[in-house]
Structure 1
């Protein structure tokens, strides 16, 4: 196992445990980073230890102890740190098997703005860099860095406890928690499989905690259905659109599990945004796709959320039922100027309409806004096709124009 694999699998658990010990995000994050830096220096020479997590925890705890000593701060946290193995330290027990969900509910405290809640959890639990989170939120990196600093200060100043809230406070935190899990899945959907697995783990844990909440089951259903296509989304490192995927590579077990979760959500009366998205994902797993029903569900979702990204997906479905010109009319009224999927979707619709020069411009703009290597190569292939004979008139409708598809 490489250090990168260990980081992806263990960062969230190591950091959450350290925060539980220390009660300080910054000191815990610094100690975790130092532990991984020491591992990067020693493991290539000495080999990966048999229990990487225990090694990292011990090293990080030692780093934190040194920091406390350096700062001459003899606090209760310091007493816990030097007390010995974690099993000897009295810990707050919860219904969860480890501290990651305690961390996510701490980050989603109502004293923090929603944007800060989501960003802080992605940074601490998911291990995303500030730049990655900034791109997910479509804001400058500096803005996101300031948001994270303010969130940590707020938690410390307000004395927000590191624990799962009591039952009567769960509802007010749940929307932010679900948004966090959804964004973690989106990052994983771009090729970071460990983040997708983390999101699904969190979804299952939330479903165990709140078995009668339809939106929790809806989110989990949607994640399972999307993740079921993971193995088919790439071929030899190249992006494969939904309509071109080898369906034999889809995970039938995950599809069945996702549909069972969707049935549970509907039985509970679920009609919220995650339940609607799960229903759409379920329809995408059928052959042929019922684009009229997908368009109707996107219409309901757009009305419910007011999201221009949802309307972009609506435009794709409308293009399949009413033609590319109808879809383009929706796209051209959306205020998503620097959202790369707006431009890639617009390019595909223009391509289908034979408006080659405009399609090239839109593809170039999408490429300019895309950092992902596989997506860039896909856009470059489209540009090459448009430069060739007959490039302005494809003979079939393209599927999967947007990432969500």
Structure 2
């Protein structure tokens, strides 16, 4: 298979999605991080009545400046009486404005007397939060597919809603392959061995999207064992993600087992890092075969698997944000693939600069851990120091609110 540009591969992969998960209704206490399966509109206005934005005195603007009798005291939560002309009401933040009042004067600007208060002039409407100034009845609060954030939970609670219909989390199976891999916490490494980082970083990336992880561990480079593991994972999961075994080496067996036991739809992307990515299915369950190098696995998950997972979850995500930054590095020779370089950012605004996080080798995971974003370098680009590059912030590559890079 020829190398496929990401801009062509991703629509092809997304087009395989035919359904959304089942739904369930949860209380707000359990709904954060889940994907809304309904559009929610408000049935009420917020605030439900005009209220005071400050502690002070509610008055009729035409009655001040002057000394006014304090006719009532209105704390938040108490229903006020109407304000008699020529009087003031002591009022507190959040308390309902009494009928007849049209302004609030700050307590700092007032001079209390024995039974009255000396007040300066006031402007009609000052320090009053109007009914519905935040939310009007009928306003959309949550769109179908939104991943619910803590502020969304608070918004729903502010209109008295205590439950919401959401999609059930996808079940995502993760397995890695490689005779050389050892688990963190095990005894010292033998020559040629490394610790298994992909198993843990991929699981963390999936969980950051609010999905359920089935960790199947690591498998040795034995085709039959890998194939059987893929079939077991496919039988119990909505998606399978593997790391390693998809390149062209004699010990790379994942791609071959996908072809043998299912269908291989795509192999090799025109990106760097991350060229040897495989996508297909076994027993109808989609499988992403990610590269074994840790940076390649992290990047291909973020750029390819993540948008698919969000869409399959029923989620609705915005395109990944990009912003222009001047490069503090150069690329004197053009590359044939779209590159995603890990960069640190310094400065602000138009003076912001991007510098490389050291070695850009696909095996140097610290280049991601130390990065603020990835600089996107189009194919066949020669880059001079000071040239403008587009940067995707790293947080957006992890956030369920953002999906596709193109």
**Would you tell me which structure has more helix in proportion to its own residues?**
1
Higher fraction of strand = 2
User: By the TM > 0.5 criterion, same fold?
Assistant: no
The structure whose Rg is larger is: 2
Q: So what's the TM-score if we normalise by structure 1?
A: 0.22
